[in-house]
Structure 1
Amino acid sequence: MKKVAALKYQKDKDDAPKVVGAGRGEVAEKIIEIAKKNNIPLYNDEKLVEQLVKLELGSSIPPHLYQIVAEILAFIYHLDQRAKE
């Protein structure tokens, strides 16, 4: 069954990224559809999503996930920069 988690991070407001959406099956498909319609980058990491879907919505990611999420944010930043060129 497909699983997804959506993160939000505002560097001026948040200490760490927050889980703002998560779901399985049809809910996961709807989250993906919304992300695509809004040109929100998708990143596939099954081990990470397994941990993220267990978190309460609105909660910050735990410190042990900072490294991998930072790498994802850097990847997304790079995509944004390329899109602006």
Structure 2
Amino acid sequence: MAIALSHDIGSDQAPTVVAKGYGAVAEQILRLAFDNDVKVRTDPDLAQILEVVEVDCEIPVQAFAAVAEILTYVYRMNGTLPAGDAGGTS
């Protein structure tokens, strides 16, 4: 299972599921991510929560903490962490 999320920095909107799939579709999602230097994380527990979310829908409340951690890491690695956002500990 591969799930792709999208979130606009500074948006009040929750992240959304933009793609998901198993098998060949999952491989294609991962290939596109790697080819475009998109950060990838393996998290079976989070995937289990997100697999029931329809594409183009916001993530459920149960996934907020894990997704926030991932987004903070990605924003920090990309140098785009919003100003004033500590994003947890260093």
User: Which stretches in structure 2 are left out of the alignment for 5+ residues?
Assistant: 80-90
Equivalenced residues, count: 79
User: What's the counterpart of residue 84 of structure 2?
Assistant: none
Partner Cα separation in structure 2 for residue 31 and residue 13 of structure 1: 24
SS in 1 for 2:34: helix
SS in 2 for 1:69: helix
User: What's the counterpart of residue 79 of structure 1?
Assistant: 77
Residue among 42, 45, 50 paired with 2:43: 45
User: What's the counterpart of residue 60 of structure 2?
Assistant: 62
More helix by share: 1
TM-score, normalised via structure 1 length: 0.85
TM-score, normalised via structure 2 length: 0.80
Change (3 A) 1:77 1:13: closer
User: What's the counterpart of residue 29 of structure 2?
Assistant: 31
Once the two structures are TM-superposed, the CA of residue 78 in structure 1 deviates from its matched residue by 2.1
CA offsets 1:53-81 (integer angstroms, 9 cap, x no match): 21100000011211111000011112213
User: What's the counterpart of residue 7 of structure 1?
Assistant: 5
User: Which stretches in structure 1 are left out of the alignment for 5+ residues?
Assistant: none
* Alignment RMSD: 1.3
Q: What letter is aligned with 1:51?
A: I
Once the two structures are TM-superposed, the CA of residue 13 in structure 1 deviates from its matched residue by 4.8
Partner Cα separation in structure 2 for residue 12 and residue 78 of structure 1: 14
